[in-house]
Amino acid sequence: MNAITRLKAISCAVATIAIMAASPTLAKTFKIAVGDGAGGTQHELGKAFIAALEAKTGKKHTATLFLNGQLGSEEDTVNNAATGTLDMSILAINNVTPFSPTVGTLTLPYVILSLEDAEKLTQGPIGQELIENTVRDAGVRIIGWAYSGFRVLTNSKRPVESVADLKGLVVRVPKNQIMIETYKAWGINPTPMAWSETFSALQQRVVDGQDNPYITVHAMKFDEVQRYVTNIRYIFSIEPLIISESVFQDLSAQDQKSILEAGQEATKHSAKFLRTKESEIKAELTARGMKISDPAGNEAEFISLATKAVWPKFYESIGGAEKLNAALKVLGRNTVQ
């Protein structure tokens, strides 16, 4: 083969590779694991994402939601997405933290004090850094965020208005060290438990209570097994939509763009959904017999104990106190020393 022939062959090969890279991925129906049931924030984010994805790809790509943990526990779905055996998952952010600890910045108690705070952190530079860290650490990419509101405390025994009222209650929490340490700071040892086991444990009185946003309480019908609600604000529940990084990288550049844009649209929809639905859901839960109360003294005792005892314990795992300070600065709050 002479030089001219070799050059033509190389040019042809390069052109072929370029065409393949630019060509769209074959039509695909993605599988999306969803921890919660129908009607919750995770479900709403998933529906909005699918609608946006279909619109952006002319219905070439779509997805199917598998609700109520049909595809495994939320932590299992992170593992499965990391290995490429699952396309996507929508899950509580505390179940991502064990795989990518810097994400724990968003789950430290009383860092996020409003939906607006959550939007600023997840949709700005800090959120982008957490996305990059999660790709690096866990092999999954966050492409959307669901906003579910504050994790209020529910229980079947009595009203809780002070830290002292917690004494004697058995409270279920996820297998998340930040949340476990927060309850310990309040004087009780919580019971770590998988999400799939929680309803039956409440029903059988294995545990007395749990904490989750109003929308989740409603979607999971916890009013059937819980009576009292306390409006604590220690964690604002954020539930990311993740995609397997290997699945994402197998997509064409155009399809990657469509996936990311669909995630952005679904994120905006989730914020709107929370703003319009939460008060309506609270009223419905009250009508069903749940008794809602606020902590005494504007929650000052809960806040003081949690921030002083818990924040320093997790500086190292989130990448240093400077990571927390960066978030606090974005929110216009005082930084820690």
Are 94 and 178 a contacting pair, CB within 8 Å? yes
Are 271 and 265 a contacting pair, CB within 8 Å? no
Q: What is the structure's pLDDT at 24?
A: 56
Q: What percent of the chain has pLDDT over 70?
A: 93
Residue 290: φ, ψ to 5°: -75, 140
Domain locations in the chain? 29-148+238-277, 152-235+283-326
Average pLDDT over residues 261-280: 96
Average pLDDT over residues 54-83: 96
C-alpha dist (Å) from residue 192 to 56, 173, 179, 214, 278: 41, 5, 9, 20, 27
Say which residue, 221 or 12, is predicted with more confidence.
Answer: 221
**β-bridge mates for residue 155, sequence order:** 209, 228
Q: What's the pLDDT tens digit per position in 84-117?
A: 999 999 999 989 999 999 999 999 999 999 999 9
Q: What's the pLDDT tens digit per position in 132-150?
A: 999 999 999 999 999 999 9
CATH 3.40.190.170 is held by the domain 29-148+238-277: yes
pLDDT at 233 over 50: yes
Q: What is the structure's pLDDT at 66?
A: 98
Residue 277, exposed/middle/buried by CB under 10 A (0-12, 13-18, 19+)?
Answer: middle
How big is the CA angle at 35 (ends 30 and 41), to the nearest 5 degrees?
90
Average pLDDT over residues 223-239: 97
Q: What is the structure's pLDDT at 21?
A: 46
pLDDT at 15 over 60: no
Sign of CA dihedral 13, 14, 15, 18: positive
Say whether 152-235+283-326 and 29-148+238-277 share the same fold.
yes
Average pLDDT over residues 312-320: 95
Q: What is the structure's pLDDT at 196?
A: 87
Q: What is the structure's pLDDT at 219?
A: 87
Q: What's the pLDDT tens digit per position in 173-195?
A: 998 899 999 999 999 999 999 88
210: nearest Cα among 160, 162, 164: 160
Which CATH code fits 152-235+283-326?
A: 3.40.190.170
Q: How far apart are CA 211 and CA 291, in angstroms?
A: 15
- The pair of structure tokens assigned to 65 is 């939601």
What is the C-alpha radius of gyration for the chain, rounded to an integer number of angstroms? 22
